[in-house]
Structure 1
Amino acid sequence: MTNPGPVYCGAVRRYLDPDCGGIAAKVLPGQFYVTGTEAVVTVLGSCVAACIRDRETGIGGMNHFMLPVRPGPHDDYAGAAARYGNHAMELLINEILRLGGRRANLEAKVFGGARVLTIPSEVGARNSAFVRAYLALEGVPLVADDLGGDHPRKVIFFPAQGRVRVRKLRRGGEGDVIARERHYVRELASRPIGGEIEFF
């Protein structure tokens, strides 16, 4: 089977990434990207990225999501959080299946969920718990993960080969990541919607 062209949500940008040795598609918060031919890159703080692929066809992709969290005295927003998380995961899986992947062949690797936002909520821990529970419920094997901690991460996913490269970013140099995630949290609050790891 010929690998399909990319499918994406949002204006995914392609650029020359020296860490992957070629052109990569960059996924930002709220986006996903499915391909059988390209590298997919994101940078994560509290957000989580799920890298899912069909291990037989090499069709796969990545999403980048942060569950809606609005800090408050009770911090009880589980319903809204679950809806957004489900939406992000379903979009990714459904596109893989639509392009010829089979549910029985899917496997996942997940990353992110660091403690980098100074708001009164364990956003990263909630994201990590959610993605594990979702994959278990859907019967998609989780073959590798790198979740938690207090460092942002750069993640490069090669769906065709199933490889992932992860680099922890230095503390103090993550200003852009934190600013982007804070902006995304505000956006969600105002517009609610219904294997092997190579470290380098």
Structure 2
Amino acid sequence: MTTPGFVEHLARNRYFDRNFNTEAVKVLPGEYFVTTTDVVIVTVLGSCVSACIRDRDKGIGGMNHFMLADGSNSHDIASASARYGGYAMEVLINHLLKLGARRDALEAKVFGGGRVMSVLTASNVGDRNAQFVLDYLATERIPVAAQDLLDIYPRKIYYFPKTGKVRVKKLVRMHNDTVVKREREYSARLVEAPVAGDVELF
């Protein structure tokens, strides 16, 4: 049994997207998805961030959806809080490499880190998430081809790994609290889960 909140797991929510006329996969907080096929990967972000990473030559790509554990204001990539983000990034990149992606051909597009949860705004969780993902990618020398970070609105992300194309929809008039509820529950799991094991940065 894996530890909730710390160990990322593969998203399993598949559906057919009528807008794009293609198979789609929804990624929730604490999940990721990788593919070699022509699908769209979809997620909705509040304070969390997603890294969309692909081999620009082979079209092998994927997306994660994560948040740093609360309780640390450090942007240090080796901090206890950042290890949650580091693990999320490592799992995604390692899976891409296993599918045949080449390390020197990877490119990233990053999104999220909004100030949409009042309970997390005081600790600047969105800001820390955004800075972490940029610092991590810089350390790993994976170029960031595009970014849409911070702001005050949730975002819906549509990522097409085959082409690298991303569509971002700002949810300015969102009236339900689904995003906030999911992220609050995810944040609680992170706080409760112990940080164990080593994270390999490569």
Q: Distance in 1 between matches of 2:179 and 2:74?
A: 23
* Letter of the structure 2 residue corresponding to residue 129 of structure 1: Q
The aligned residue for residue 18 of structure 1 is: 18
> Runs of 4+ in structure 1 displaced over 6 angstroms?
none
C-alpha deviations, 1:95-153, integer Å up to 9, x for none? 11111111100000000000011122111100000000000000000010000100000
SS in 1 for 2:44: strand
The aligned residue for residue 147 of structure 1 is: 149
* Letter of the structure 1 residue corresponding to residue 163 of structure 2: Q
Q: Contact (CA 8 Å) 1:69, 1:77: kept in 2 or not? A: no
RMSD over aligned CA atoms reads 1.7
SS in 2 for 1:40: strand
Q: CA deviation at 1:82?
A: 1.2
C-alpha spacing 1:128/1:23, structure 2 compared with 1 (3 Å):
same
The aligned residue for residue 198 of structure 1 is: none
The aligned residue for residue 123 of structure 2 is: 121
SS in 2 for 1:67: coil
The aligned residue for residue 165 of structure 1 is: 167
C-alpha spacing 1:171/1:192, structure 2 compared with 1 (3 Å):
farther
C-alpha spacing 1:46/1:22, structure 2 compared with 1 (3 Å):
same
Matched, 1:188 2:190: yes
C-alpha spacing 1:11/1:101, structure 2 compared with 1 (3 Å):
closer
C-alpha spacing 1:11/1:147, structure 2 compared with 1 (3 Å):
closer
Q: Distance in 2 between matches of 1:111 and 1:192?
A: 27
User: Which ranges of structure 1 fall in alignment gaps of 5 or more residues?
Assistant: 1-7, 195-200
Q: Contact (CA 8 Å) 1:59, 1:99: kept in 2 or not? A: yes
TM-score normalised to the size of structure 1? 0.86
* Letter of the structure 2 residue corresponding to residue 118 of structure 1: S
TM-score normalised to the size of structure 2? 0.85
* Letter of the structure 1 residue corresponding to residue 100 of structure 2: G
The aligned residue for residue 156 of structure 1 is: 158
Of structures 1 and 2, the one with the larger relative CO (CA 8 A, separation 6+) is 2
The count of corresponding residues between Structure 1 and Structure 2 is 183
Q: CA deviation at 1:18?
A: 3.5
What percentage of residue pairs aligned between the two structures are identical?
A: 53
The aligned residue for residue 34 of structure 2 is: 34
Q: Distance in 2 between matches of 1:174 and 1:192?
A: 31
C-alpha deviations, 1:54-90, integer Å up to 9, x for none? 00110010000011114xxxx5576222111110000
SS in 1 for 2:167: strand
SS in 2 for 1:95: helix
SS in 1 for 2:58: coil
**Bigger shift: residues 115-124 or 166-175:** 166-175
Q: Distance in 2 between matches of 1:114 and 1:192?
A: 26
Q: Distance in 2 between matches of 1:51 and 1:174?
A: 26
The aligned residue for residue 46 of structure 1 is: 47
Q: Distance in 2 between matches of 1:107 and 1:173?
A: 34
User: Which ranges of structure 2 fall in alignment gaps of 5 or more residues?
Assistant: 1-7, 197-202
